[in-house]
Structure 1
Amino acid sequence: MRRPRIVIVGAGFAGYRAARALSRRARQRADVTLLNATDYFLYLPLLPQVSAGILEPRRVAVSLPGTLRDVRLVLGVADRVDLDGRAVHFTDPEGRTGTLDYDRLVLAVGSVNKLLPVPGVAEYAHGFRGLPEALYLRDHVTRQLELAVADDPRAAAARCTFVVVGAGYTGTEVAAHMQRSTADQARSRALPDGVRPRWLLLDIAPRVLPELDERLSRTADRVLRQRGVEVRMGTSVQEATHDGVRLTDGEFIATRTLVWCVGVRPDPLVEDVGRPLERGRLIVDPYLQVPGHPEVFACGDAAAVPDLEHPGKLTPMTAQHAWRQGAVAADNVAASLGAGQRRPYRHRDLGFVVDLGGARAAADPLGIPLSGLLAGAVTRGYHLAAMPGNRVRVAADWLLDTVLPPPAVQLGLVRSWSVPLDTASPELARVPGGPGAHTGSHPAPGPVRRTDTPAEGDS
């Protein structure tokens, strides 16, 4: 008899965890196929360190074929899910179309950049959701410092001014790491007199990291301000232009760099599934099954999962939830095939970690607030434990960073037009007019909660 076919769409944290678990629990009972745009799993929490030159890009890209045993990888992006026909239609990297039939389906397509109706943002801002964007930001920032050397002081000041919008996890960590990077680069460049790198972090929320305990928020705020980052709460961008940004308080900031970190929204693919949505997320039951289609499971940022610890609410789009939901989805898929018992999704937060660059961090493992060197050690130890691969190489890069400065050179691998803010494919450097793409979720895993989805107040 034909073996059941399990198809997983998306290899972010939820999809990757589901694939890894099913490769162990269901390989004797079913064939497992993973559909993803790339052949790697992206460890997004360390992406700011790629932009800062601390980590090489491949350190945060974990090979799917190398780490997922007994899982068939299909490169491509899902275009449409046919629930009645039990098929996923996709387009591969060369533009060819294909179909994957399934008996069980796990939708873990994750999220994409969230856009707000702010004039000029789509044209002049760049997000921070994948390797292409991280590499582009590093090249762009380095280029601005190099061009500023030969400019007049006014133009040089604009080139050396960098604006980050969104003081959630991503924006805070990008500002923290990149401020240190530009400060180091400025020491070896003959910038015009009085011109130094200037970083601004904006958010309409009342404080940095509004999702966190106020003690950790104060720690992050203090570290940023001590380094010279201009933290402006209650302020955002009203309009973006080629020459700069106008803020909601009326001030115009001359700049060539606008980094958009205001949050994410569920991948548009879930809208086309044709099932009920909640805040753009696919409604599922506590067992992560889609009502009316018990053969279909959804998890991660794309799923509206009921929060059993807080009745009437949904679990937020966070790191810990995506990682844990992937494991529960795998258990329940295996149970539906006769291997084990299904279980509802429940969770318990175990804390937060926020990397502020160098040896600085904010963390509260098990609810114990930490800062300074101890928080930095806990944060790096957590990331090494959480990564499913490349641990030794990451640790080696960290060691080198303590004794040698990162090389400040442009690689020229990613062009501005290949990482538009409104792309639905943050992992891929697409050419204009290329096929759209849907990607997997990219939150960070447990046991310590960490999310790259800012709170609703972040903007």
Structure 2
Amino acid sequence: MSRSRIVIVGAGFAGYRAARTLSRRFRGAAEIVLINPNDYFLYLPLLPEVSAGVLEPRRVSVSLAGTLRGVRLVLGEVDGVDLAARKLSYVDPEGASGELRYDRLVLTVGSVNKLLPIPGVAEHAHGFRGMPEALYLRDHITRQIAMAAGGEDPAESDARCTFVVVGAGYTGTEVAAHGKLFTDSLARQHRRAGSGLRGDRLPRWMLLDIAPRVLPELDERLSRTAHRVLTKRGVEVRTGTSVKEATNEGVLLDDGEFVPTHSLIWCVGVRPDPLVEETGLPSDKGRLCVDEYLQVPGHPEVYACGDAAAVPDLTHPGKYTPMTGQHAVRQGKTVAQNVAASYGYGERRPYKHNDLGFTVDLGGLQAAANPFGVPLSGPLANAVMRAYHLAALPGNRVRVASDWLLDAVLPRQAVQLGLVRAWSVPLESSSPETAHAPAWSGHGYGPDGNAAEKPSQG
């Protein structure tokens, strides 16, 4: 075989696993190119722990060059695919354009924040899909508690100590669970320092969802465990409720209540990366249509998997596989095997996988899990959850375990560095994995990148 080029777009769960499997299968017989905006694989399940100061950012950021031997990394964001010419175009981190030809193309571009047509949300809310958003949230939370502690207006202090999370799925539930522990710790530190926080009141967290229960996509036993832990911790869980309007002063709920807050955290779900529709290929609700072998019909050289692909669920005929990391990892392995099979390395196989169970991190020693259908809660579930994450992490295991140990014996570090500003993490973004540059005109930003006018949620 002449040296062929296999291009993988996106280094999420599916893309990373595909690249790793292909590199081991071909061992230099083909050129494997991975194009991604960043030089790391982000382990998303542990991102809430980054926003709450439990883990340092690099712990969940696994070096691509350091762990994918034999894979050429190209830093860039793909903005076009020419199927006829078998090439794609991209923009690198410094704004320069480039092109890559391919013999096989694997699209694993993942997903972005899901938007809803609610007035003010795009301007005043922030999502939770990438490292910049997690770092912004950690700084924002720390800053709000500090400003509340130093302020003299009780109403403003209460608003700064109120955090509203919309969406009680995996992400929203974990963000609220970790966030409550984080802000309670920050408040206690400021009180010991003689702050102006009133009495012994702790920061207020609200978790909203239009569904009838938290974690509506999971087993009801996990849902009940999560609800019990959250409410006992002091999180106000409001099901059947959502946001009607967001303003700079707070949020208006659909039941008519207005909640003064400077913190609206948007976790309502995800939608496939917009690049899918830009290819012009058939899609279903934004997900690229593929067959059970993860190939795009009519284009045998193009494959897709992960959140961006509508993969037939052979365990539930007539449905597509859910957009979860568990499916993405296994689809990445299958797509690599099928790409290799197209060159005569082994035989292709359809994608078929039964869920092995789920884990939900509830912060501290609390978690909910159902490995192989066995419901667990409390410290035991937490141990299962952490063991699973350490096994699934492709690197940094010792560092993650060390951070967990330190968090158990030392107080949380309460500093905000101000490196990620509100305008650099807009909710409406096709690339939440990268921080955005400031708008130089029309938005009040000066040449130093600082806001001439106070930005929302800043």
- TM surpasses 0.5: yes
Find the counterpart in structure 1 of residue 319 from structure 2.
313
Find the counterpart in structure 2 of residue 170 from structure 1.
171
Counterpart Cα distance in 2 of 1:174 and 1:223 = 13
Secondary structure in structure 2 of the residue aligned to 1:50: helix
Q: How does 1:23-62 map to 2 (within 5 A)?
A: 23-62=23-62
Partner AA of 2:88 in structure 1: V
Find the counterpart in structure 2 of residue 275 from structure 1.
281
Counterpart Cα distance in 2 of 1:359 and 1:196 = 20
How big is the alpha-carbon RMSD for the aligned residues of Structure 1 and Structure 2?
Answer: 1.0
Find the counterpart in structure 1 of residue 433 from structure 2.
427
Q: Which runs of structure 1 show a deviation greater than 6 angstroms over 4 or more consecutive aligned residues?
A: none
Deviation at 1:100, TM superposition (A): 0.6
Find the counterpart in structure 2 of residue 184 from structure 1.
185
Secondary structure in structure 1 of the residue aligned to 2:268: coil
Deviation at 1:272, TM superposition (A): 1.1
Secondary structure in structure 2 of the residue aligned to 1:226: helix
Secondary structure in structure 1 of the residue aligned to 2:90: strand
Partner AA of 2:107 in structure 1: L
Does the CA contact (< 8 Å) of 1:157 and 1:196 recur in 2? Answer: no
With normalisation by structure 1, the TM-score equals: 0.93
Partner AA of 2:425 in structure 1: V
Deviation at 1:29, TM superposition (A): 2.6
Partner AA of 2:169 in structure 1: G
Range 184-193 or range 271-280, more displaced? 184-193
Matched, 1:107 2:112: no
Partner AA of 1:389 in structure 2: G
Deviation at 1:145, TM superposition (A): 0.8
Which structure 1 segments of 5+ residues have no match? 435-459
Equivalent of 2:380 in 374, 377, 388? 374
Does the CA contact (< 8 Å) of 2:166 and 2:209 recur in 1? Answer: yes
Deviation at 1:378, TM superposition (A): 0.4
Identify which of structures 1 and 2 has the higher relative contact order when contacts are C-alpha pairs closer than 8 Å and 6+ apart: 1
Secondary structure in structure 2 of the residue aligned to 1:105: strand
Partner AA of 1:71 in structure 2: V
Secondary structure in structure 2 of the residue aligned to 1:46: helix
Which structure 2 segments of 5+ residues have no match? 441-458
Deviation at 1:187, TM superposition (A): 0.7
Matched, 1:353 2:359: yes
Q: How does 1:323-334 map to 2 (within 5 A)?
A: 323-334=329-340
Partner AA of 2:123 in structure 1: E
Cα separation, partners in 2 of 1:330 and 1:433, compared to 1, 3 Å: farther
Find the counterpart in structure 2 of residue 126 from structure 1.
126
Matched, 1:287 2:288: no
Deviation at 1:196, TM superposition (A): 2.8
Cα deviation 1:29-80 (Å, max 9, x = unaligned): 3110000000000000000100111100000000000000100000000010
Deviation at 1:193, TM superposition (A): 2.1
Partner AA of 1:258 in structure 2: L
Counterpart Cα distance in 2 of 1:26 and 1:208 = 44
Matched, 1:263 2:269: yes
Counterpart Cα distance in 2 of 1:306 and 1:138 = 38
Report the identity percentage.
Answer: 72
Counterpart Cα distance in 2 of 1:14 and 1:433 = 33
Counterpart Cα distance in 1 of 2:370 and 2:2 = 49
Matched, 1:140 2:140: yes
Secondary structure in structure 1 of the residue aligned to 2:126: coil
Does the CA contact (< 8 Å) of 1:235 and 1:247 recur in 2? Answer: yes
Deviation at 1:2, TM superposition (A): 4.2
Counterpart Cα distance in 2 of 1:67 and 1:405 = 32
Counterpart Cα distance in 2 of 1:151 and 1:272 = 52
Does the CA contact (< 8 Å) of 2:28 and 2:70 recur in 1? Answer: no
Q: How does 1:331-346 map to 2 (within 5 A)?
A: 331-346=337-352
Partner AA of 2:252 in structure 1: R
Cα separation, partners in 2 of 1:191 and 1:352, compared to 1, 3 Å: farther
Deviation at 1:318, TM superposition (A): 1.1
Q: How does 1:375-390 map to 2 (within 5 A)?
A: 375-390=381-396
Q: Provide the aligned length of Structure 1 versus Structure 2.
A: 434
Does the CA contact (< 8 Å) of 2:185 and 2:412 recur in 1? Answer: no
Counterpart Cα distance in 2 of 1:212 and 1:185 = 32
Does the CA contact (< 8 Å) of 2:296 and 2:302 recur in 1? Answer: yes
